[in-house]
């Protein structure tokens, strides 16, 4: 019985230690930025998993001890039954034999009583450990969900950051070995990609004052200023799904979704001139594709509850006032 008591004592220490660890860890959870918060969640989840592993080991050890005590109790109970059965009482051995028999039965009864007490103590400790494990599992699941959500959010931020960098790179000079934009004739719906590759003498700069609108037909326009732009842009009202056309030949430098422009296509027209068409409903071209003037690059999307195309004209990263170019 003494050895059995010693095996229960570590479980008591474990219970108190885990309880203190949980309380201390919950009290030291700091408020910090995204990176620090991710580290905090990872650290807390690692702590919970470590405590769960410790609990599982001690629960398994208690189960083994409980099985040993149970089997020993059953064996002693069978012996006790046989010794106390009327047909097995010592006969003809005299008073000393009867006294020895009685002492043996009493010792066995006390041993069984101690085994029962020990089994109850082990069961109580096992119940506490199981309760502790449940609490840890209750902590583990939301932490894992939080970690997964933070991972997905981080991936989304990285994707948005990659798009933003690609968007900014689109207004830079083509790197060595990358494509070089070719320049076509002034905008004409019949002017195709083949003509764009042949080029023109005037180039994009020659269109100042007569730059065609990227939407055919009548449209209402107004000058606006978007966050991050160094100058104004133009909003053009048109039905959702209206074709958006390239105002001049060039090559697609960017075609993706990025804040605050929504779905956007950037065309490189050469000489560091770029046009940006944003708030698109669909994108109909791919990066690196040569397009001719009048080529459909997408469709008008819905913004502010109506069909709107946002258009910018840039030279390098500088936004140009589109009014003089459109002859407004």
Cα torsion 181, 186, 188, 192 to 10°: value is: -30
Q: Do 163 and 310 share a domain, yes or no? A: no
Residues 136 and 43 in one domain: yes
pTM over 0.85: no
Q: Does 156 lie in the same domain as 221? A: no
Region for 208 from its dihedrals, namely left if φ exceeds 0, alpha if ψ lies in -120 to 50, beta otherwise: beta
In the listed set 134, 169, 204, which residue is the last one of a domain according to the structure?
169
Domain span at residue 105 reads 2-169
Contacts of 161 (CB under 8 A, 6+ apart): none
Look at residue 156 and tell me if it is in a domain. yes
Residue 39 sits in the same domain as residue 148: yes
CA angle at 102 for the pair 99 and 104, rounded to the nearest 5°: 110
* Residue 179: inside a domain: no
Residues 36, 112 within the same domain = yes
What does the DSSP 8-state code read for residue 237?
A: E
CATH number at residue 245: 2.70.70.10
Residues 137 and 202 in one domain: no
Q: Which residue has the tokens 């589109």?
A: 322
Instruction: Based on the fold, state whether residues 282 and 317 are members of the same structural domain.
Output: yes
Say how many domains are in the chain.
2
d(CA 271, CA 292): 17
275 and 308 share a domain? yes
Domain identity same for 126 and 273: no
pLDDT tens for the chain, residues 1 to 328: 444 444 444 444 444 544 444 444 444 444 445 666 777 888 888 888 888 888 899 889 889 988 998 998 888 888 888 777 755 555 566 667 777 778 888 888 888 899 899 889 888 988 898 888 888 888 888 888 887 887 777 666 666 676 677 667 666 655 433 433 323 333 444 443 334 333 344 689 889 988 999 998 888 888 888 877 767 898 999 999 999 999 999 999 999 988 888 999 999 999 999 999 999 999 999 999 999 999 999 999 988 788 999 999 999 888 998 888 988 7
């Amino acid at each position: 019985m003494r050895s059995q008591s010693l095996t229960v004592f570590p479980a008591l220490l474990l219970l108190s230690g885990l309880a203190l660890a949980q309380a201390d860890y919950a009290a030291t959870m700091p408020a910090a930025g995204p990176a620090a918060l991710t580290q905090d969640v990872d650290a807390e989840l690692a702590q919970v998993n470590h405590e769960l592993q410790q609990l599982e080991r001690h629960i398994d050890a208690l189960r083994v001890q409980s099985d040993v005590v149970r089997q020993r109790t059953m064996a002693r109970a069978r012996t006790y039954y046989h010794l106390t059965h009327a047909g097995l009482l010592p006969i003809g051995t005299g008073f000393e034999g009867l006294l020895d028999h009685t002492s043996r039965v009493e010792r066995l009864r006390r041993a069984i009583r101690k085994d029962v007490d020990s089994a109850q103590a082990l069961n109580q400790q096992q119940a506490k450990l199981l309760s502790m494990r449940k609490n840890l599992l209750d902590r583990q699941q939301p932490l894992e969900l939080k970690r997964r959500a933070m991972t997905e959010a981080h991936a989304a931020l990285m994707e948005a950051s990659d798009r933003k960098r690609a968007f900014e790179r689109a207004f830079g000079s083509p790197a060595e070995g990358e494509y070089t934009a070719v320049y076509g004739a002034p905008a004409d719906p019949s002017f195709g990609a083949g003509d764009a590759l042949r080029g023109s003498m005037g180039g994009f700069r020659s269109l100042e004052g007569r730059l065609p609108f990227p939407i055919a037909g009548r449209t209402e326009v107004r000058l606006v200023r978007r966050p991050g732009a160094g100058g104004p842009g133009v909003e053009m009202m048109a039905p959702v799904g209206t074709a958006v056309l390239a105002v001049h030949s060039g090559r697609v430098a960017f075609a993706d979704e990025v804040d605050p422009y929504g779905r956007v296509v950037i065309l490189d027209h050469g000489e560091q001139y770029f046009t940006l068409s944003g708030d698109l409903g669909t994108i109909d071209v791919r990066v690196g594709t040569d397009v001719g003037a009048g080529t459909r690059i997408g469709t008008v999307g819905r913004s502010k509850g109506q069909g709107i195309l946002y258009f910018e004209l840039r030279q390098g990263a500088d936004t140009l006032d589109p009014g003089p170019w459109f002859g407004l």
